[in-house]
Amino acid sequence: MDRRDIGSWLQGPKATLSEQGIEFGYVGERLGFPEAGPNSVARMGRRLIALCLDWFASMAVAGLIFPAVTYNTKSLLILVIFALQVFVLTTLTGSSFGQRILKIRIINISGSRLSMPRVLVRTLLLCWVIPALIWDRDGRGLHDRAVASVAVRIR
């Protein structure tokens, strides 16, 4: 066992396979999306910032509407407001509040808008958190894979 063996283990299987000459392509290539620019798959950093904006907006709304509610109840209210905001805005506009600010929209893999039932399933899985933390090499979480959706850049 030498340093390269440990380094390959720490870098993960993708780095090891890349060293062996296997080409993975860019994020979204397997789905038929461009590498950069409009309609390219939105990167994880941009999506995480949009999620934080959505969550902070939900916290602000909960604080304004329910100022006297206890902490445990308020955290549940924040989650409900977050889910409603994401569901309603994604159904109507294709983007939640934070996604709209960061120029991201959620579409079907074929390029069309998501139907209301798919948006509902995606939102519920997003609120469950775990599916959103596991993603594939195209940057799609399990919540996106379950409803055949993808987050793309608007500009």
Quote the pLDDT of residue 132. 87
Name residues whose C-beta falls within 8 Å of residue 153's C-beta, 6 or more positions apart in sequence.
37, 38, 39, 40, 41, 42, 46, 103, 104
Query: Are 142 and 150 a contacting pair, CB within 8 Å?
Result: no
At 29, phi and psi to the nearest 5?
-65, -45
> For the residues 13-27, what does the mean pLDDT come to?
71
Question: Quick one: which of 35, 37, 41, 36 has its CA closest to 149?
Answer: 41
Q: Distance (Å, rounded) from C-alpha 31 to C-alpha 109?
A: 7
Mean pLDDT of the chain: 88
Q: Where are the domains of the chain?
A: 28-153
Tens-place pLDDT, residues 124-137:
999 999 888 898 88
More confident residue, 103 or 17: 103
CB count in 10 Å sphere of residue 114: 22
